[in-house]
Structure 1
Amino acid sequence: MHKVICLNFTSLVPERWNSLPDIEGLKKQLASAAIAHSEVYGIELGLYAPPKEVREVKITAAAADQIRCMWHGHRGRDQISPPVIPLKIFVFGTGQDAQGTWVSIEVHPGMDEWEAV
């Protein structure tokens, strides 16, 4: 089943205020966050809640822009970690094999408008 899921993403890796988030690192964090979100809230990602793994994470250009803008522009002066960033996760692939159940997700902006402050 294809569905869109709201996810308030919080990076677990503190980075310097003036650094840009690493997209490949974000993909790993988003995969973990999607599975954890599924477990905590009992939300099915595709066929199963939760799947054993997220095999593929695609971040749209708009979502990457929202993450970068909010990473810096919405962070308080003395705040070490980035702010909570609302995103939407679209499940575009699911399956099951000898390793267990899996999903593939695409990340979209969770806000209609955003800007760096």
Structure 2
Amino acid sequence: MHKVICLNFTSLVPDRWNSLPDVEGLKRQLASAAIAHSEVHGVELGLYAPPEQVREVKISAAAADQIQCMWHGHRSKGQISPPVIPLKIFVFGMGQDAQGTWVAIEVHPGVDDWEAD
């Protein structure tokens, strides 16, 4: 099943305000967040609720910009971790094999406009 799924992403890894999120680490966090969201809310990712793994995460340029702007510009003074960042995910691949059920996702912005404050 193909659909856009809303995901309020919260980074579990606190980083300094002036740091940029590590892209590979961010992809791992987004994969875990997508599976957890599927499990908690009973939302199917592709054909599975939840799949056993996310094999691939693609972050669109617009989503990367939104994450960076909100990572820095929307963080409250003194807050250690980044704020909740609304994103949308789209499942573009799914399957099942000897390792279990899997999906591949694309990450897109969850808001129509944003800016660094």
Q: TM-score, normalised by structure 2?
A: 0.99
**Cα distance in 2 between the residues matched to 1:111 and 1:98:** 38
1:13-69 Cα shifts (integer Å, max 9, x gaps): 000000011111100000000000000000000011000000000000000000000
Q: Aligned with 1:48: secondary structure?
A: coil
Q: Write the mapping of 1:1-117 to structure 2, written as runs, cut at 5 A.
A: 1-117=1-117
**Cα distance in 2 between the residues matched to 1:61 and 1:48:** 27
**Cα distance in 2 between the residues matched to 1:84 and 1:28:** 17
Q: Aligned with 1:87: secondary structure?
A: strand
**Cα distance in 2 between the residues matched to 1:94 and 1:8:** 22
Alignment length (residue pairs) = 117
Q: Aligned with 1:71: secondary structure?
A: helix
**Cα distance in 2 between the residues matched to 1:4 and 1:81:** 27
2:82 is aligned with what amino acid?
Answer: P
Percent identity of paired positions between Structure 1 and Structure 2: 85
* Structure 1 residue runs of 4 or more that deviate by more than 6 Å after TM superposition: none
**Cα distance in 1 between the residues matched to 2:2 and 2:55:** 16
Q: Which runs of 5+ in 1 are unaligned?
A: none
